Structure 1
């Protein structure tokens, strides 16, 4: 009982918080659930009306057809007198043509005795001709009232449909009936994508249309005996088994909707059941909608209501607690002020007692100061000794009888000055300075070092009555430790400086080694490209002279040389990227032409592999080096085609803030996560690509280095069995920053000469005899007159104004000769400047720029013969123009 009384407030607060939370949650949840359910019900009702309109429109489209057919004289004549076989066949064909035009299921002409005279399905095994339909309601209704409607399963076809009939009359006498059958199964297919359950029931509440098979031919209510007998006589649903629909109604909405739970067929969770009457057909349309969204809204509102009540309760408790804390703080402050006042009074009383006891002491040694580790001396307002401790005497080693109560402190200073303890300078000034400091009553702190190396920390503080207390602490050990730490710090700084110098030297050595490696790689690639260039030219000449299997073999050799060319070019690119020799030209440009060019180039390779290459156009403007970005995307597309055995490859773009992400999607085998970081290293490749086209593993290494050089982020996302996505993120640019294209000069062509190379006088200068021989063979195959194919010295010996070539093919690095310098010497001998094409293995941007500025052609080794021929033709035509 004591515990309950003490904690009654806490229990009441908890009960109020919990009860209020549950009540608010229940009220808010129920209110939100009802509102959400009402909104869902209205939406479902509108959807149901749309379904009803679609059903009614399909019926109305065929509604007038029986009336039109009833006016046909041929049908009326067939009912007035029995038709012969030929006339019956004409009727069948007429109904068949009408059925093909109207696209109904069947058209049937039924006589007054209920037997079908003709039908549109006369030529099918399930023909209606000759069948007795007198038991069908649509026949009886038409003879009785002139028209009839009935939904049922066809007895001859076994296909359910909606039958509409119209009586054919002659002078007020009903001779027979024309019947049209409409199949409504197409409606079920239209309802099939809906996540809801859509049903249609007849006047007996039998479900005959449903977008789910388990719901068709279900009874919404029990049938009476009369209804069952009527359905059996009409054979409405043939041998179909009509199963009851077990449902439990849990709530009824204001607009007639119901919240139900389906027991058979089973549906999880409560469902919203809306119905719509179709009075003209005596049907009802039903829609069952999952009410989970309304339940979720109610749950969220319940959580929100409970949270709001808790927040309000905590706010009230917080305000009350703040008030209690403020009151407690004020009370504590008053108590603390009272205690401090009391302690201050006691402290003043104790201090006065200490000073009084010290003044009355005979020897001046204070027992209250004896335990202090510092030396302490106390003087009064007349600057005379009052008290001291043994540590003070020990530190200064005063003689016996010098220190006594009442001795002026000035005499102590004079004694210490004679021993040299007051420092250099005049003694009187040092004593006077210390006395003035004591008289001023200001606290002070300083350090003093004695002759024996002892360092004292001196602190002085005034007393309330005008006296002064001075303490002397021996800090010699602390000072020694500080000096040792300072010496250690100096030594560490010296070692750090030495290590830094060593690291700088190692870095410079690594840079020198890297530059040497780059020069070595460039030289090695140059020397390797020379014989490769000759080999490709010889193969091109050989391929033009061979046929059949020999020609195919030469093409394989050319493909192998091209692959070797790609590897050497990649090695040179990596070397230039690592050494920083690759220059970038970053500018704003439209991305669409680049993507279109890549799609066109790689589309041919994709078609040859049976793949699809798709690209998505863009109007974006990016800021990058167009040539290097093209190299990145080329490697992406090459890998995508290489590792995609079937399917398609896609290249497109996505915007991400101020960046444009260019992506290449493939449908290859995917890359394991453990290997995704390694494939960007040199000579790393997967083993599941196309065997004939496995690369050297340098493409992605070049991509990674170009991306790092341009500051473009390279990313990879891959899923095993589904494919990979390689992407590069490029900054977006402004279309206004794109420079205007330079005007392209018109190039005149010689209409009288089909090929500018025919009989063209050409010189080829190269220090490699194999290249010279290959070039001569290739040029002579193109009907060129090769007057010289030799080294620099031979060219200088025969050059004169009488043998100026029409075109010069010139290597750049030829031993001690430099191609552009050799050209200037030859021009002096020729007294002319013929067009020149630099054919070189050098990958120097400055050399390419020099060629462009001088109007020279530039071609990298190894030379592809088609590229050489095209460039020679272009240079000759431009020179003639």
Structure 2
């Protein structure tokens, strides 16, 4: 605000003097100077500007074309350099693999087992040579190693004990056999006639007294090379001396030719059965059109621009090749040039934008010059408006001060409300703690009812047994009382699962043992109730991952609830409880889970109670007979061990509770 006032005090031309009248509308008219106004240009001047615009368009076209050619050539050179490094690595990797096995057939040809076999192919010599070849082949990690007699028949092979063994096969027609039979090293890539698997064959003659008495051959599987390219968009392929692509990272290009085969070469391939049962067809590799090359400039040395496909818009590749010596193969690496083309387009667009930006900057500079002249004329109006702005600022400042004072009062009120809220939250936390303590006390009372009843029964029985002098039985009852006491201690320590999670102790638990303990605890209540166990799997395999005490707690709750339901039956109806143990039924049921179903013939579960059955403190029993925590605790225990607990009414009356748990490994459970 003060800076503007200082500017208004500066003595400039056209500034209103003190005591003069405010600027009139005539003073604010736009400038009419023909040197700075575009609208006042004459007809010839407009023609001049049209020529300037056409010249700028022509210059932009030249800049864009030059940028595209330079960016294309630079990107192509970089792509050729990167592709050359990759193709050199692939060639070195392939060559090192071939050289590593180059001397293996020669070493095999020197072994006396091979000479004995070729001199006298008895069964003993054949068996000894087979075992030797298998050992050599396993140690060298080759595909196959075999020995061929001068007649062309394979006498021994490393795969002699396999159904598709090379033993007995004829190889007279193979070039690698013919070359070795003439005393030279044979190298050949083709598809095997026995297994129909492609491979690279290296053969060596077996010499004795200056003559060839046999041929040793090592076969290598080179299919791994076709999968060596980590990027499917940059194919790698290897062609033989005839131009047939026998290795390729693109499966559809394998066994295709770089150029059409002559009738002589086709006849030669059929005679040697080099590519057994494969249809050899040309791969549509088209060199790039000369017009495109003239447009973009020459290619880097050692590179070739090709298209794969008959269409003119087919994918363009930069092909970099390397020739291998022994064998006479050609390794070709194709890298797509679309990224180079995209980079050249982007550079061209960037150059066009830069040129357009420069033109716009020049136009902006001229317009700004005109605007500055207009601002000099408008300055007097701005000075008059500054005073009005200052008055408005003062009024606004007063409003802001009033608003600020109001906000201060609101902050004080909110701080007080937040303090009251924190106090209320503390009271709620304390109330939640007291509720949790009450829930724990109720849960402990519920879980200890059954052991206490069993303790009473065992103590009464012990007193009677002592009166009768049956000290052995009394001792057993006392031991049972001690076990129950220990169990009650564990219950009080572990019933915290319902209120909060504790550390689990998951072991392999035999369901039969847990059921025996459960029925022993509930024996006083069973009375005349008929209890039947049904096993759909052997008892030795009914082992689950759980805690034995907690599993017994769940079973006590389920069987106890069944007994309570049976007591509600009519007097004439006998009580019955069926316990079924087996795998979960159903096509989609998991095989690693076990179900324990407890079924009674009571009146069943009322429909209105079914949705709330597993809620804490919900019970259908009369007051004083239950707290409604048994099923809630059982559900928490089952869920803690990766299982579940469900309930349903069964046809004919009664209810069924199904406990699902994770089965333990049968092998480890057998050692329990």
2:70 aligned residue (31, 34, 38): 31
Matched residues in 2 for 1:305 and 1:152: separation? 54
Matched residues in 1 for 2:183 and 2:349: separation? 63
Cross-structure match for 1:277:
323
Deviation at 1:253, TM superposition (A): 2.0
1:295 aligned residue (341, 345, 354): 341
Matched residues in 1 for 2:406 and 2:354: separation? 67
1:106 aligned residue (122, 144, 147): 144
2:94 aligned residue (25, 47, 55): 55
Cross-structure match for 1:42:
81
**SS of match in other structure, 2:228:** helix
Deviation at 1:242, TM superposition (A): 0.9
Cross-structure match for 1:306:
352
1:64 aligned residue (95, 103, 106): 103
Per-residue Cα deviation, 1:482-508 (whole angstroms, up to 9, x for no partner): xxxxxxx9xxx9xx999999x899979
1:8 aligned residue (22, 47, 53): 47
Contact (CA 8 Å) 1:200, 1:285: kept in 2 or not?
A: yes
Matched residues in 1 for 2:207 and 2:407: separation? 119
Cross-structure match for 1:757:
none
Deviation at 1:155, TM superposition (A): 0.8
Matched, 1:178 2:224: no
Per-residue Cα deviation, 1:77-106 (whole angstroms, up to 9, x for no partner): 333x33212222211222122111111111
Deviation at 1:69, TM superposition (A): 1.4
Matched residues in 1 for 2:407 and 2:199: separation? 96
**SS of match in other structure, 2:61:** helix
Q: Which runs of 5+ in 1 are unaligned?
A: 337-488, 567-600, 609-690, 696-881
Matched, 1:260 2:298: no
Matched, 1:126 2:164: yes
Matched, 1:74 2:120: no
User: Residues 748-787 of structure 1 correspond to what in structure 2 (within 5 A)?
Assistant: none
Deviation at 1:519, TM superposition (A): 7.7
Matched residues in 2 for 1:498 and 1:98: separation? 95
User: Residues 651-666 of structure 1 correspond to what in structure 2 (within 5 A)?
Assistant: none
**SS of match in other structure, 2:331:** strand
Contact (CA 8 Å) 1:197, 1:210: kept in 2 or not?
A: yes
Cross-structure match for 2:37:
none
Deviation at 1:166, TM superposition (A): 0.7
Per-residue Cα deviation, 1:27-55 (whole angstroms, up to 9, x for no partner): 11221111011111111111001001111
**SS of match in other structure, 1:95:** helix
Matched residues in 2 for 1:271 and 1:136: separation? 36
Q: Which runs of 5+ in 2 are unaligned?
A: 1-40, 379-397, 455-479, 508-611, 617-672
Contact (CA 8 Å) 1:542, 1:554: kept in 2 or not?
A: no
Per-residue Cα deviation, 1:339-379 (whole angstroms, up to 9, x for no partner): xxxxxxxxxxxxxxxxxxxxxxxxxxxxxxxxxxxxxxxxx
Deviation at 1:605, TM superposition (A): 6.2
Contact (CA 8 Å) 2:236, 2:333: kept in 1 or not?
A: yes
1:146 aligned residue (184, 199, 202): 184
Deviation at 1:270, TM superposition (A): 2.0
The structure with the larger Rg is 1
**SS of match in other structure, 1:190:** coil
Matched residues in 1 for 2:357 and 2:300: separation? 35
Matched residues in 2 for 1:692 and 1:102: separation? 70
User: Residues 387-426 of structure 1 correspond to what in structure 2 (within 5 A)?
Assistant: none
Cross-structure match for 2:153:
115
Deviation at 1:26, TM superposition (A): 1.9
Contact (CA 8 Å) 2:443, 2:495: kept in 1 or not?
A: no
Stretch deviating more after TM superposition (264-273 or 110-119) = 264-273
Per-residue Cα deviation, 1:719-746 (whole angstroms, up to 9, x for no partner): xxxxxxxxxxxxxxxxxxxxxxxxxxxx
Matched residues in 2 for 1:218 and 1:293: separation? 27
Per-residue Cα deviation, 1:175-216 (whole angstroms, up to 9, x for no partner): 221111111012223335554111000000100001121010
Deviation at 1:325, TM superposition (A): 7.3
Deviation at 1:534, TM superposition (A): 4.8
Matched residues in 1 for 2:359 and 2:269: separation? 66
Deviation at 1:553, TM superposition (A): 11
Per-residue Cα deviation, 1:494-551 (whole angstroms, up to 9, x for no partner): xx999999x8999799689758856864775576466456557767977987799999
Contact (CA 8 Å) 1:532, 1:561: kept in 2 or not?
A: no
Contact (CA 8 Å) 2:148, 2:214: kept in 1 or not?
A: yes
Matched, 1:201 2:239: yes
Matched residues in 2 for 1:224 and 1:499: separation? 95
| CA spacing shift, 1:20–1:104, aligned 2, 3 Å | same
Deviation at 1:9, TM superposition (A): 2.0
Higher RCO, 1 vs 2 (CA within 8 Å, ≥6 residues apart): 2
Deviation at 1:562, TM superposition (A): 5.6
| CA spacing shift, 1:510–1:77, aligned 2, 3 Å | closer
Superposed CA RMSD = 4.6
